[in-house]
């Protein structure tokens, strides 16, 4: 398991353990913040230090950082601990969502991790989430959407720096440098 996947596992474990406390402070942290914290979008030393967000901000982040996909596009053997992709189940209108659930393991009978108001954070099946949310805030059976978190753009591959040298006889040579360090030094000299 790579470092990013290990952090996701640790965050899920952390959020799950907070539920066991009597009078947990984390009740003030929204399900949106919990899901985005688990995925590593929100960072902080622990879950209680992440900023809380409402459904408007959650909808904005969803548009900017995630792309909609069909349910069938989630690989049948998907595990958040082995894949480089992250998936989110969004319940309600995607512009003003009601709930976020992190897709964790499609082999599990309860593949979704999220925070429910009365039950705390934990794993649920799609049927359990449907029972919990259908009929509340206008959520119907067609208001369950899947999203994939966009991967950060890779930096453009550096083209080699070319240096042309001419001698008095008209002959020339070309030197290429692969290191961007030389390119920066050349720019500073001009």
**Tens of pLDDT along 48-58?**
888 889 999 99
Q: What is the pLDDT of residue 2?
A: 80
What is the Cα–Cα distance from 112 to 106, expressed in whole angstroms? 9
pLDDT top residue among 187 and 29: 29
Contact of 146 with 103, CB cutoff 8 Å: yes
The yes-or-no verdict on residue 121 having pLDDT over 90 is no
Give CA 159 to chain center in angstroms.
31
Q: Which residues pair with 164 in a beta bridge?
A: 174
Mean pLDDT of 110-129: 88
pLDDT top residue among 44 and 87: 87
Kindly list the distances between the CA atom of residue 166 and the CA atoms of 72, 160, 173, in Å, as whole numbers in the listed order: 61, 19, 7
What is the Cα–Cα distance from 172 to 184, expressed in whole angstroms? 23
What is the Cα–Cα distance from 69 to 75, expressed in whole angstroms? 11
pTM for this predicted structure: 0.75
The yes-or-no verdict on residue 187 having pLDDT over 60 is no
Q: What is the pLDDT of residue 181?
A: 47
Contact of 31 with 99, CB cutoff 8 Å: yes
């Amino acid at each position: 398991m790579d470092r990013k996947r290990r952090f996701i596992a640790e965050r899920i474990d952390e959020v799950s353990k907070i539920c066991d406390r009597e009078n947990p402070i984390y009740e003030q942290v929204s399900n949106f913040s919990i899901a985005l914290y688990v995925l590593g979008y929100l960072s902080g030393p622990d879950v209680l230090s992440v900023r809380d967000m409402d459904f408007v901000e959650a909808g904005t982040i969803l548009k900017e950082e995630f792309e909609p996909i069909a349910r069938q596009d989630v690989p049948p053997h998907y595990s958040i601990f082995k894949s480089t992709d992250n998936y989110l189940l969004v319940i309600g209108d995607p512009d003003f969502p009601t709930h976020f659930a992190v897709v964790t393991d499609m082999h599990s009978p309860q593949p979704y991790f999220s925070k429910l108001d009365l039950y705390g954070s934990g794993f649920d099946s799609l049927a359990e989430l449907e029972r919990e949310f259908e009929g509340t805030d206008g959520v119907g059976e067609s208001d369950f959407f899947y999203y994939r978190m966009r991967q950060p753009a890779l930096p453009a591959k550096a083209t080699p720096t070319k240096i042309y040298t001419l001698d008095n006889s008209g002959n020339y040579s070309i030197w290429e440098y692969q290191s961007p360090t030389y390119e920066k030094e050349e720019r500073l000299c001009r």
